[in-house]
Structure 1
Amino acid sequence: MASPRDALGVDNPVLAAPMAGGPSTPALVAAAAGASGLGFLAGGYKTPDALAEQITEVRDQGVTFGVNLFAPNPLPVDPGAFRRYAATIAPEARAYGLDARAAGIVEDDDHWTDKIDLLLAEPVPVVSFTFGIPDAAVIAALRAAGTLVVLTVTSPAEARLAAGAGADALAVQASAAGGHSGTLTPQHVPAPVPLTDLLRRIRETVSLPLFAAGGLATPAGVAGALRAGAEAVMVGTVLLRADEAGTSRPHRAALADPTRHRTVVTRAFTGRPARALSNRFTDHYGGLAPSGYPALHHLTRPIRQAAASAGDAERINLWAGTGYRHAIAEPAARILRRLASHV
C-alpha cells in the first residue's frame, strides 16, 4: 500500500494543520499546496454551507487538500456549575454590554450529520477528525468514497481505538500543541509527554502511518519528529502570523508581544483543555472553569467575539503551542519550506 503522502502526491512532509475559529483559510490551504505540501480547512464551528463554500474555493484551485471535523464526544456540563461560572465571568461580559447570566446551556454536535453528508456527497482527498472517533461505518463510507481518513490521538490507548475503527493514518498530537487537545477523555488534562516519545510509544502500538503535531516550530524539531517515526508533521501555531492566515489582529499582536512569556492549558474558554498564551481571562478563570464542552464554548463565544473586534487580547482565546516564539509574519509557503529544510 502506498504511503498517504505518496498517494496524495505530497512532497513536503510539513503540512498545515487545521485551526478552527478563523486562522485556517482557503488562501492558507492553497499556500501549503504551493509549498508542495497539504493544508486542512477547519470545519469546526462552521455551518455546512460555509464549509461547502470554502471547499469549493479550494477545489477550484486544483490543489490537494484536507478537511477537519470535530467528531462528537460530548462533555456535558453540570447545570449548577455552568450557572456559577456564568455568574463568575459576568463582569467580563458586561464590559461589552453582554449578559452571561442569561445564557442558556447549548449542547450541540456542530452540525455533525450534515457535514458528513457533505463530505460523502462531494468527497475531498483527506478528512481528519479531532475530539472523538467516528463510528466505523462513517469511516468506511468516507474511505469507500476515496477519502483518506486521519484520526487524532494523544496516547497509545487512543491509537489502538483509532486503528480498530478503520483509520488510514493517525495524527499524533502531543500536549505542546496549541489550541484544543484532541484527547478522547477531555475531563482529564493529557500528560506532558514529549512528542518524540509519544511517537515512539504509538509506533510500538500500531502500524499505521503517523502525522506528528505539537510544538513543532523549527527545522530541527521537524527533522526529529520524522526520525522518531512520523511520515509527516502538522504545524499550526507557527502559521498563525502567516500572511494568508485569518488570525485576528489582537491574536497576531499577542504572539509577537515580548512581554508574554508562557502558555497554559486552560478550560476557561470552552470547557475542554486547550493551550493558549496566558492573559487576564486564563489567569482569572482558568482554575474556576468547569468541564463542559461545547456549553462553555457557547457561553464565552460572544465575549470573545466582542473582544476580538475591539482589539482586546485579554478576553480572547490566544491559542498557541509552546513554539509560538517562532511564529513570524511572512508568506506561509516560506514558513513551510523553511521547516522542511533539514529533512
Structure 2
Amino acid sequence: MNRTTTLLKLLGTKLPLIQAPMAGVQSSRLTLAACHAGALGSLPAAMLPPEKLCAEIETIRRHTDQPFNINFFAHKQPEYQPQQQAEWLAVLAPFYRAFGLTEHDIKSGGGRQPFSNEQAEIVMAYKPPVVSFHFGLPDQPLLDKVKSSGAVVMSTATTVAEACLLADKGADIVIAQGLEAGGHRGTFMDEAQAHQAGLFSLLPQVCEAVALPVVAAGGISNEATARAARALGAAGIQIGTALLSADEADTSERHRAALQSPRAADTVLTNVFSGGLARGIRNRFIREAGPVNPAAPPFPLAQSASAPLRAAAEAQGTDEFSPLWAGQNAVLAQAGSAADIIMRLAAAFAG
C-alpha cells in the first residue's frame, strides 16, 4: 500500500488534499466547502471559546457526512513578564502616539489558547474524525484522550527532528511545513531560522525519516507546485494561501486586495504581530517594528499590544498594521470557489 492510499484510508476522503485551518479568515463555511469538494475540511479551534467550537462542529455535522478536521494549538503558554511587556510597549510607543492609543486600549484574555482538558472533553464528546495540532502535540494525558475518541491525529513538522518526534509520540500523519508557508510556523523544537528549510528540501528528508504518510504544506498554490510535491514523496498536500481568495473564505477585502496585487510577491517572516514567527505580506508595521524584533514577547503574548494598532489602522482604512498572512507563492493563487481551487490542485494526484 503506497502512502497516498494509506492517507486516503486514514482520512476517509476522496482526495489527498487538506484545507489548512486558518484562524481569523475562515469559519465552518470554508470547512464545509472543502468537504463537499472531496477534500478534508478543517476548522481552526485555537481562538474559539468552547461554546462557539461546539456550535461550529454541530453546523458541520448538520451539513455534511464527510470527514473533517478540528485543529488546535499545542504551544506552551508563556508566563507574562511585566518588564518584557514594558520593553515591547516602548517599541510600539511611536505608533501608539500616532493613533492616539494608550495602554488602556490593551485588552487582556482571548487570543490563541493551547489545547486544554476542556477542549479534550469536547473532542471526546463530538468525536471528530481527524484532529490536528500546530506547535507539536499536547501532553500525553491530553493526547491519550484524543486518541481514545478514535480520531486520526496529525501535526506539523518544520524539521526532520520534529517529524521523528511526532511519529514517536503517536501522530498518524505528519504535515511537513516548508519555509514558504504562510501564517505561523509550526516549530516546536528549534526556532532558529537558519535550521528551517524550504519544502522541497524538507519534504524528501521527512519522507525518508518516517514511515507515516507525509503531507506537504508551503508554497503549493497551483497544479505545478502540487505535482512537484507529489514527485518528492508527498502522500498528499495541505493548502492555505491558495484558499485565502476562495469565495467561501472570510478573508477581509483589504487582505484579498493585497493577495491579488504585486504586494503578494513580497512576504517575510515576522514576529511583531503575535510573538511567533509567521509569514505575511510586508507592510509598514513589519518594516518599522521588525521583521523580527527581539523585544516582542513570546507567542502569543505580543498580540495583546499589537491588536489595538491593527484596529485603529483598519478604522482609518489601511492594512499597514494588519497581519496579511500569505505564503511565498501567493502570486500563483487564483480566486474562485473552493471546489474549483481544490480540484485544480488535486489534479496533480490523479492517475
TM-align CA RMSD:
2.4
In the other structure, the counterpart of 2:177 is: 173
Shift in CA distance, 186/118, structure 1 to aligned 2, threshold 3 Å: farther
In the alignment, structure 2 segments of 5+ residues that lack a partner are: none
Q: One-letter code of the match for 2:87?
A: R
In the other structure, the counterpart of 1:274 is: 278
In the alignment, structure 1 segments of 5+ residues that lack a partner are: none
Q: One-letter code of the match for 1:207?
A: A
In the other structure, the counterpart of 1:217 is: 221
Shift in CA distance, 216/290, structure 1 to aligned 2, threshold 3 Å: same
Matches within 5 A, 1:309-328: 310-328=316-334
| Separation in structure 1 between the aligned mates of residue 308 and residue 160 of structure 2, nearest angstrom | 37
| Separation in structure 1 between the aligned mates of residue 316 and residue 8 of structure 2, nearest angstrom | 42
| Separation in structure 1 between the aligned mates of residue 212 and residue 171 of structure 2, nearest angstrom | 8
Are the equivalent residues in 2 in contact too, given 1:45–1:110 (CA < 8 A)? no
| Separation in structure 1 between the aligned mates of residue 128 and residue 264 of structure 2, nearest angstrom | 39
Shift in CA distance, 197/108, structure 1 to aligned 2, threshold 3 Å: closer
Query: How far off its partner does 1:41 sit?
Result: 0.3
In the other structure, the counterpart of 2:43 is: 41
In the other structure, the counterpart of 1:24 is: 26
Query: How far off its partner does 1:108 sit?
Result: 7.8
| Separation in structure 2 between the aligned mates of residue 90 and residue 323 of structure 1, nearest angstrom | 34
Query: How far off its partner does 1:259 sit?
Result: 4.4
Matches within 5 A, 1:240-279: 240-279=244-283
Query: How far off its partner does 1:186 sit?
Result: 6.6
Q: One-letter code of the match for 1:341?
A: A
In the other structure, the counterpart of 2:84 is: 81
SS at 1:3 equivalent: helix
Shift in CA distance, 309/149, structure 1 to aligned 2, threshold 3 Å: farther
Write the deviation string for residues 127-179 of structure 1: whole angstroms up to 9, x where unpaired.
00001321233223222211001011111111121111111111111111001
Write the deviation string for residues 4-23 of structure 1: whole angstroms up to 9, x where unpaired.
322433122222100112x2
Q: One-letter code of the match for 2:298?
A: G
Q: One-letter code of the match for 1:45?
A: M
The two structures have a TM-score, normalised by structure 1, of 0.91
Query: How far off its partner does 1:274 sit?
Result: 0.5
Query: How far off its partner does 1:276 sit?
Result: 0.6
Are the equivalent residues in 2 in contact too, given 1:172–1:212 (CA < 8 A)? yes
Query: How far off its partner does 1:110 sit?
Result: 4.5
Q: One-letter code of the match for 1:169?
A: I
**Structure 1 vs Structure 2: percent identity of aligned residues?**
36
Identify the range of structure 1 (258-267 vs 51-60) with the bigger mean alpha-carbon deviation.
Answer: 258-267
Shift in CA distance, 11/111, structure 1 to aligned 2, threshold 3 Å: closer
Q: One-letter code of the match for 2:308?
A: P
Query: How far off its partner does 1:104 sit?
Result: 7.7
